């Protein structure tokens, strides 16, 4: 499994670099988050959700990344002001372009579990979705 995209994706999250994050996601990636009832499909739609989240999060600190042949889980701390929250993300990796040496893009994400709702409640800033 090529973890280059995952490594770059987590580094982009830590730097709060939305463009870099999106560049490591498949064009048709799907985001499932406790902030929104329906899955968010495609980079443009994901941008609409992630951009305000990055605006309120001060830091992401990845503690552990586990992976199998197609799946990755990450455990991290999120800092918002003086509050630290534990979070977990799950990523399904895109294997459709393996023949081009380009496998490993994040194809699906189920993220923010344990922290997204807490951030939204604490800050009240994410209610615009």
Whether residue 14 is predicted with pLDDT greater than 90 in this model: the reply is: yes
CATH architecture of 4-123: Roll (3.10)
Q: Are 119 and 80 in contact (CB under 8 A)?
A: yes
Model pLDDT, residue 112: 57
SS3 (DSSP) at 64: strand
CA distance 5 to 129: 28
The answer on pLDDT for 55 being more than 50 is: yes
Q: Which helix (H) or strand (E) holds 91?
A: strand 83-94
* Mean predicted confidence (pLDDT) in 105-121: 60
The percent of residues above 70 in pLDDT, for the chain, comes to 72
Would you say residue 97 has pLDDT above 60? no
Q: 50 pLDDT exceeds 50? A: yes
Confidence at 127, pLDDT banded by 50, 70, 90:
very low
The pLDDT, as a whole number, for residue 128 is 41
> What value does the mean pLDDT take over residues 75-93?
86
């Amino acid at each position: 499994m090529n973890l280059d995209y995952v490594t770059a994706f987590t580094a982009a999250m830590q730097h709060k670099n939305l463009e870099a994050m999106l560049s490591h996601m498949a064009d048709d990636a799907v985001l499932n988050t406790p902030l929104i009832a329906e899955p968010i499909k495609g980079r443009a739609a994901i941008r609409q959700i992630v951009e305000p989240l990055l605006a309120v999060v001060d830091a992401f600190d990845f503690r552990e990344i586990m992976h199998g042949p197609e799946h990755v889980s990450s455990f991290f701390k999120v800092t918002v002001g003086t509050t630290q929250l534990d979070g977990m993300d799950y990523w399904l990796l895109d294997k459709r372009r393996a023949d081009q040496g380009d496998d490993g893009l994040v194809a699906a994400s189920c993220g923010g579990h344990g922290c997204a709702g807490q951030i939204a409640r604490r800050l009240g800033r994410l209610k615009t979705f």
